[in-house]
Amino acid sequence: MCAIIVAILVLDLVTKYVFDVTLADGKNVTVIPYLFNFQLVHNYGAAWGILAGRQVFLLLLSVVFLTMFIVYYVKEKNKTWLLNITYGFLISGCVGNLYDRLVFGYVRDFIQFDFWKSFPIFNFADCALVIGVVLFVVYLIVYFVKSKKVEGKKNDKK
């Protein structure tokens, strides 16, 4: 899990730095026409800019989620490979954006879908969070399916 956290954090923070120093806020560079662009945006809110200007709330929310992720992970006795990967993505994504909010007062976003202009511009920390949430849902499904099978076997023996 630690390797995943470090790898994603390095990828996230290095790419944010590169785009922050090479692109002016709002400048657009086409990568694949009609597919995706790089456009630096200083996001003072969450996705789609919601809660813009509510930095203290967003900071507290990030700290609460990060704490929940860590506490749940530490308390979980059955740390499967899937759980380790899941929490690696969740924690690194949360820390990457939390770092930006603490240091800059905004999150540096730069990946834009050219074919879907209304979709929020995002970064690798955002990708990690989305992947982490999807993996967590998969983990929960696997966990509940396995627990139902164990419960079914116990009922069969009675």
Structure tokens at 67: 């704490």
Structure tokens at 43: 């996001």
Cβ–Cβ < 8 Å for 88, 59: no
* Catalytic residue chosen out of the listed positions 12, 100, 126, 156: 126
SS3 per residue for 6-60: HHHHHHHHHHHHHHHHHCCCCCEEEEECCCEEEEEEEECCCHHHCCCCCHHHHHH
Instruction: Reply yes or no on whether 109 is catalytic.
Output: yes
* Residue 39 burial (CB count, 10 A): 19
User: CB-based contacts of 129: which residues, under 8 Å, 6+ apart?
Assistant: 89, 90, 93, 94, 97
Q: How far apart are CA 85 and CA 89, in angstroms?
A: 6
* Catalytic residue chosen out of the listed positions 25, 109, 114, 156: 109
Instruction: Reply yes or no on whether 126 is catalytic.
Output: yes
Q: Which residues are catalytic?
A: 109, 126
